[in-house]
Structure 1
Amino acid sequence: MTPEIDLQIAVGDEAETALPSQSDLEDWVGAVLAHEGDTRHELTIRVVERDESQQLNRDYRGKDKPTNVLSFPFESPPGIELPLLGDLVICHDVVANEAQEQHKSIHDHYAHLVIHGCLHLLGYDHIDDDEAEQMETLERVLLTQFGIADPYRVVDSKPDA
């Protein structure tokens, strides 16, 4: 089943050219849902500027700075089953800066963060070391389906001496 993604773009036109396609988003989200056997398939992905990311991060996580991705799982009222997974809010500027700093393509970094965010929507977390290892291992497995290298591999940015 192809996920239904409501893509909301709240960034300037110059940033839009670097955003992943609707098809890429559907593929990445679909891979997570297929792996987890989850039947929920509707979510919103909102791509925002730094100020909106910072405000949401401050209001919901108590961290007064922009962040790459925020996950807001849908909480269904008792006794009501809906196909809603939740919302991801992605800060384009943070993603672009991280990709450059980590020597990754912006496309690959978006893939990682969409998969990472979806896993949070499904209840995964990385608060302790065991949870982090489980989540990161699953991210690696899912990303290899798209030919994307280990996002946690450290790339030496220093020139050889």
Structure 2
Amino acid sequence: MKEVLFKEKFPQLNLPECNPRITEEEGRLLIFDSIRKKHLVLTPEEWVRQHWIYFLVEKNQYPKGLLVTERGLTYNKLQKRTDILVRNQEGAAYLLVECKAPNVPINQKTVDQAAIYHFKLKSNFLILSNGFSHIFLKYDFSKNQFLQEKNLPKAPFSH
């Protein structure tokens, strides 16, 4: 893929640069997922997801072993997949990251989709991101509502 086309489809995001391992196989670009330990087809959404994994693990000390990507769940007989799920040390859902491609706006549809995942998993935090815009939400279980936060929550462990 020509570099200009690559940068258009996979732009520099509003996240730390992660220098992912990208290879080409049978005319398709693949990106290495360090959580699943395998190469995946590089899509714009996967580009955002891999940047978030890097940001959580390498820049914010989230333990890699607590991250799960593309976890399946069922909601109203529909199969859904969370982009990134971070569990706490007890195994409960701590943080959900819903990733969209850079050209997809974060809107009410995105919030509704992430809320379905939250409803099933009961996570403390949600992040909605297209790589450029990020919305950080904390769930207040006593008020049964999301509150917008300014920053990424701390990693789910105490020292």
Higher strand share: 2
Instruction: Compute the TM-score of the two structures, normalised by the length of structure 1.
Output: 0.34
Instruction: Compute the TM-score of the two structures, normalised by the length of structure 2.
Output: 0.34
Higher helix share: 1
